[in-house]
Amino acid sequence: MSQKLEPTSWRVIKRDFSHLIEEIRESRDSTRAEVQMTIVFRDMSKLKCREYVVDGFIDVFQYDLYDGYGNVIAKFHSEPHKEEALQTATEPFHMHVRRDKQDYAASVRKPLPEQLRTVEGVLILLEHSENLKYLHTK
């Protein structure tokens, strides 16, 4: 199911977003085929990134954003869902957002715009969305 997305260049992310990032941590379980990184932001919120790489391209990604307390803010995913009721217009790409401030599971599924299908795209959104932690749908 390769989507022809290049794996993230963590060196470029660190360089281009150093004003947002406190540190980038690589998981002990990270491999070339399953890259697992966590970006820790200056406010201690985190973006946990997982990229499954096949033949040099991302096959599936999961970029999950958490606040400093470990609560889910939003999730940006590319794995398909077999249940038609769970599919979005951009399947397999979708995002999970909060229904309201108490929805810590981010249970609402929405289409994922093309601009948010990379770590860089998510970081650009965060860079320009100071209050994203309050994002929820009505």
Q: Within a domain: residue 18?
A: yes
What is the per-residue pLDDT across 46-64, written as a single tens digit (0 to 9) for each? 999 999 999 999 999 999 9
DSSP code, position 6 = P
Instruction: Kindly report the pTM of this predicted structure.
Output: 0.89
CA distance linking residue 52 with residue 31, whole number of Å: 9
Residue 1 is assigned to a structural domain of this protein: no
Report yes or no on 23 lying in a domain. yes
Q: 3-class SS at 85? A: helix
Query: Mean pLDDT across the stretch 91-100?
Result: 92
Q: How far apart are CA 4 and CA 6, in angstroms?
A: 6
Residues 3 and 13: their CA atoms lie apart, in Å, by 21
Per-residue pLDDT at 137: 42
pLDDT at 84: 84
pLDDT band at 41 (very low <50, low <70, confident <90, very high): very high
Determine the structural domain holding residue 68 and report its residue range.
10-134
Those residues with Cβ within 8 angstroms of residue 91's Cβ, 6 or more apart along the chain or in another chain: 80, 81
